[in-house]
Amino acid sequence: MGKDDRGKRFSCVKCGSSFIAYPPDDFHVYASIKESEIDEPVKMEYRCKDCGNINILYWGYQKVYFGVV
């Protein structure tokens, strides 16, 4: 999978303009604007090309739970 396949579309929190953000690596593939929603967050900043606002996304991974059946 190439970098272009991993991009996800988000909206600027100030003006609503859309932008594509890429995860920092293959492990941190889920993003949120709330750091508390992400395990082992990696903070990434994205500048809006329309209004110049800095949008912050926190990238993390999905927890996998193993249980006994």
Residue 22 in this model has a pLDDT that exceeds 50: yes
pLDDT of residue 6: 77
pLDDT of residue 61: 84
55 is written with which tokens?
Answer: 């949008």
Q: pLDDT by residue (tens digit) across 28-46?
A: 999 999 999 888 899 999 9
DSSP for 1-68?
Answer: --HHHH-EEEE-TTT--EEEE--SSSS--EEES-GGGSEEEEEEEEE-TTT-PEEEEEEEE-------
66 is written with which tokens?
Answer: 């193993």
Query: Smallest Cα–Cα separation from 55: which of 33, 36, 34?
Result: 33
The span from the CA of 29 to the CA of 55, in Å, is 17
pLDDT band at 65 (very low <50, low <70, confident <90, very high): low
Domains in the chain: boundaries? 3-61
What's the pTM?
0.77
